[in-house]
Amino acid sequence: MTESRIAAAFERARLEGRAAFIPYLTAGDPSAAATVALARELDRAGADILELGVPFSDPIADGPVLQRAAARALAAGTTLTQIWRIAEAIRAETSLALVLFSYINPLLRCGLGRTAREARSAGLDGVLVTDLPPEEGREVQPVFRAAGLDTVFLVSPTSPVDRMASAAELSTGFLYVISRPGTTGPRESLPADLPATVARARRAARSVRHRSGRKRPLPIAVGFGISTPETARAAARLADGVVVGSALVAAREASRSVETVGRLARRLARACRREGDQESV
C-alpha cells in the first residue's frame, strides 16, 4: 500500500530532526480564495500538514478566535461542497498533507460515506472529528478508512489509559494530544503535566502497535494553546507534531494580511526544530 501523505510528512520531519508543523485554518474564512492563499503561504513557510476546519454553528471545543472564524465562514456561505473545491485548489498548488477537521453534525448531514468519498476525491488525506469519542468511533472509523482516509482521534490530560489505547487503536494518521482541558485559544505557556500526558499517550500507542503489528510507531501531535515560538519549541521536544490554530487565525483577523500570517508561521516552523535551538526565532 502506498504511504500516505500524512505518514510521509511525519517521516520527513523525523529525518530532519524536527517535529512536523501542523497549522489549522477555518475553510472559507473570510473566503474560499483567502483560504487557498493562506494555505499557499503556510506551505512556503514550512508547514507539513494542514488541518482544514469545517465551520460549524455550535463549535463547543473552540475558543473565541475560532468561533469568530467559523461565524465569518458561515456568513460567507461556506458549505462542504465549497470546502471540497478549496481542498482541490490547495492540493493542486501545495505539497501539504490535508486533514479535514470537523464536528460530526456537518458530516452526518451529508452522509458519512458520501463525505468520505468526496473528501478523498478532493485530495484530502485524513479526517479528525473533534466531538467523536473512541467509544462511538468504532462504527465511524471504518467508513473513512474504506475511502482511503487516515483517521485522527483526540486524547486529553484527563483521558484514562484505556481510552487513550482505544483512541490510538482507531488512529492511523496520528494521535492528537490536547495539551489542556477546555477550549482552543492562545496561551503563554504549556501545562506542567504535558510531558506526563504525552508519555502516557506514547505508551498507549506502543501497546497498540505491539498488538496490531504496525510497522511504525503512531505519531503523537500536541495542540490547543500553542501560539508562540516558545510554546511550539517546548511541544516539539515532547511530540512528533505541533498544531497551531488560533494564533494564526488571530494574526489574519487582526492584520488581514497573508504576509503577517506567513511571518508568524515561519517563526513557528523554525521553533519545531529540535536541533539548533540556539537559532533566533
The mean of the pLDDT values for the chain is 93
Is 62 considered catalytic here? yes
Please state which of the four CATH numbers 3.20.20.300, 3.20.20.70, 3.30.1330.100, 3.40.50.970 is assigned to the domain occupying 5-271: 3.20.20.70
Is 150 considered catalytic here? no
Query: Tens digit of pLDDT for each residue in 53-75?
Result: 999 998 888 889 999 999 999 99
Q: Is the pLDDT of residue 16 over 90?
A: yes
User: If we measure between CA atoms, which residue out of 228, 123, 128, 116 comes closest to residue 172?
Assistant: 128
Work out the pLDDT band at 190, boundaries 50, 70, 90. Answer: confident
Please spell the DSSP secondary structure of 89-158, one letter per residue.
HHHHH---EEEEEE-HHHHHHH-HHHHHHHHHHTT--EEEETT--HHHHHHHHHHHHHTT-EEEEEE-TT
- 3-state secondary structure at position 51: strand
User: CA–CA distance from 49 to each of 68, 125, 142, 226 (Å)?
Assistant: 23, 10, 22, 16
Q: Is the pLDDT of residue 279 over 50?
A: no
Q: Is the pLDDT of residue 211 over 50?
A: yes
Tell me if 21 sits within 8 A of 46, measured CB to CB. yes
Work out the pLDDT band at 209, boundaries 50, 70, 90. Answer: confident
- Position 263, amino acid: R
Catalytic residue among 51, 118, 150, 240: 51
Task: Map out the domains of the chain as residue ranges.
Answer: 5-271
Catalytic residue among 29, 41, 43, 62: 62
Q: Give me the pLDDT at residue 3, please.
A: 84
Q: Give me the pLDDT at residue 212, please.
A: 64
